Amino acid sequence: MLLRLLRTHLVPYKRAIGLLVVLQLLQTCASLYLPTLNADIIDNGVVTGDTGYIMEFGALMIAVSVVQVLGQIGAVYYGARTASALGRDVRAAIFDRVQSFSAREVGQFGAPSLITRTTNDVQQVQMLVLMSFTLMVSAPIMCVGGIVMALGQDVPLSAVLLAVVPVLGISVSLIVKRMRPLFRAMQERLDTVNRVLREQITGNRVIRAFVRDEYEKKRFGGANTDLTEMQLATGRLMSLMFPVVMTVINVSSVAVVWFGAHRIDSGGMQIGALTAFLAYLMQIVMAVMMATFMFMMVPRAEVCAERIEEVLDTRSSVVPPEDPVLVLRRHGHLEVRGAEFRYPGAEEPVLRDVSLTARPGETTAVIGSTGSGKSTLLGLVPRLVDATAGEVLVDGENVRGLDPALLAKTVGLVPQKPYLFSGTVATNLRYGNPDATDEELWHALDVAQAKEFVTALEGGLDAPVAQGGTNVSGGQRQRLAIARTLVQRPEIYLFDDSFSALDYATDAALRAALARETAEATVVIVAQRVSTIREADRIIVMDEGRVVGEGRHHELMAGNETYREIVLSQLTEAEAA
């Protein structure tokens, strides 16, 4: 998964990667050449007392060092730029894919996990790429080059390397193999911490209202402890790496000095050659250490890449049409024919054979008990989810074949839980129509019965709105959401229980103003409150995902027991009549 992800997203940066490899090769070759020069200075300059030789080769060493430094700086620069660009591209790819998801896919992953995958998981892959470009590219060159140069200094002494490299490789591979499943568990527990923390921040008022502070502290403490324990288990394995490597380094250094001293004593080796050999041994071991450091990061990055690819490989159940309809013949005619919706793996469908018709100039209401499928039915129209059977038609065209921009322009939805974005009142109202004038915004606020409280805000239309609209009340949030849809001026209005937070007086005034504003449009209202929908031209009664009644208020009161029970649970017999 990791290699596939990197192959896909590093292709645009082949030129930068090629230049980076050249620079790494240049600085590594310079590093490998320095011990040989140092050996020459010791054997031919220091031992013989030739100051001129020392100065000449010393200047050469300085020049080689400058080349090494410049190559390293250039390699790190291009490596950092490429790794950052990769992180940017992967984050953008995840964001684009998540934006295409329907409510089904978002629910499948969950918001906390999607956030972790977009931030922390991408960061782990990006860090691995940066370390690879700055360390891993030079490590094999350094290791192989060091072995070759060490052989050039003394072949018999190089037998030490035959024992050092395999021992290091086997030790590291055994540790890395055990680390991989721990890293996956660690990322999953990080998801859990994010989820719990997000719930506690979002539900802070509920926690305070029920005095559940201690319970939530324990719940977060449990998730935090689980993550800490997994990180400690991973850390214990990681802590074995460097002691093992350093032990091998020290033992091999002692072996080189021991056997090298005997070689010098027998005249088979010079002091400078032993110094160079020790330097090459350290370079070889440092290369292995760099590879070890990389191997410590690879398991976690692999797990993160798998989680990223899970998102990128998930196709939305709501697919844009290949040959979309760009123009509609009629204006605002909505029809649902035998619609069914079933979640993947569910035993029973949420909606079963639902049919209804809503026409321009009419108000169609949908009412039913909690869980009867009302909101799911409305979600089929703007394609928040797609029907698993049946059809949803707008102006005679199946919504699956409509251009998404055309569908969004034609259908305006006020969701059950209105969401306001951080910004100002004006930026939120212009969300569906960026070109709307201030006059249009004030008119929409007036119709939505929100003009009075927006005028009272400091700044009016420029008054700040917090993320989620948390700095306004629930009723104000609903009215701003209704005004946002009115600014869009769609031909089909869908109100999903959008008046539940309003008092009866505001509800009545809002419905009266909406009736005038949407006189020529198609209006579909989902509501729990009978007073909101009793004057509708057509009332659809739903129960357990089925349509069990259709008609006007007085007709349903006379002939539909389900509707009658709902009404009488809210009104007296006299009020209902």
**CB of 547 within 8 A of CB of 354?**
yes
278-294 pLDDT, tens digit per residue, is: 777 777 777 777 776 67
Beta-sheet strands, E only, within 252-380: 334-341, 351-358, 363-368
Say how many CA atoms lie within 13 Å of 337 toward its Cβ.
Answer: 10
- Provide the whole-model pTM: 0.71
What pLDDT is attached to residue 392? 92
**CB of 403 within 8 A of CB of 324?**
yes
What pLDDT is attached to residue 576? 63
* Encoded tokens for 486: 């009115």
Of 276 and 383, the structure prediction assigns the larger pLDDT to: 383
What is the overall mean pLDDT for the chain? 85
What pLDDT is attached to residue 426? 92
The 3-state secondary structure of 467-519 reads: HHHCCCCHHHHHHHHHHHHHHHCCCEEEEECCCCCCCHHHHHHHHHHHHHHCC
What pLDDT is attached to residue 191? 83
Cβ-based neighbour number of residue 476 at 10 Å: 21
419-447 pLDDT, tens digit per residue, is: 889 899 999 999 888 889 999 999 999 99
Question: Which amino acid does the sequence have at 430?
Answer: R
Mean pLDDT of 259-280: 74
What pLDDT is attached to residue 575? 66
What whole-number distance in Å separates Cα of residue 415 and Cα of residue 379? 9
113-168 pLDDT, tens digit per residue, is: 888 899 989 998 999 888 888 777 777 788 778 777 777 776 777 777 777 777 77
What pLDDT is attached to residue 486? 92
Mean pLDDT of 209-218: 88
What pLDDT is attached to residue 441? 92
DSSP string of 407-471, one letter each residue:
HHHHEEEE-SS----SEEHHHHHTTS-TT--HHHHHHHHHHTT-HHHHHHSTTGGG-EE-GGGTT
Mean pLDDT of 519-532: 86
Strand partners, 391: 337
pLDDT class of 261 with cuts at 50, 70, 90: confident
503-514 pLDDT, tens digit per residue, is: 888 888 888 898
% of the chain beyond a pLDDT of 90: 18
Alpha carbon separation from 402 to 320, 356, 393, 433 (Å, rounded): 8, 20, 10, 20
Mean pLDDT of 179-187: 79
Of 145, 152, 163, the residue nearest 270 (C-alpha)? 152
The vertex-241 CA angle with 236 and 244, nearest 5°, equals 120
Alpha carbon separation from 399 to 214, 312, 324, 334 (Å, rounded): 49, 25, 10, 10
Strand partners, 411: 492
Alpha carbon separation from 310 to 5, 113, 192 (Å, rounded): 11, 11, 18
The sheet carrying 492-496 orders its strands as 411-414, 492-496, 522-526, 363-368, 538-543, 546-551
Alpha carbon separation from 498 to 222, 425, 519 (Å, rounded): 38, 18, 18
Cβ-based neighbour number of residue 21 at 10 Å: 16
Alpha carbon separation from 102 to 99, 106, 181, 318, 387 (Å, rounded): 8, 6, 31, 6, 12
pLDDT exceeds 70 at position 577: no
Mean pLDDT of 393-419: 89
Question: Which amino acid does the sequence have at 45?
Answer: G
59-96 pLDDT, tens digit per residue, is: 888 898 898 899 889 988 998 999 999 999 999 999 99
pLDDT class of 320 with cuts at 50, 70, 90: confident
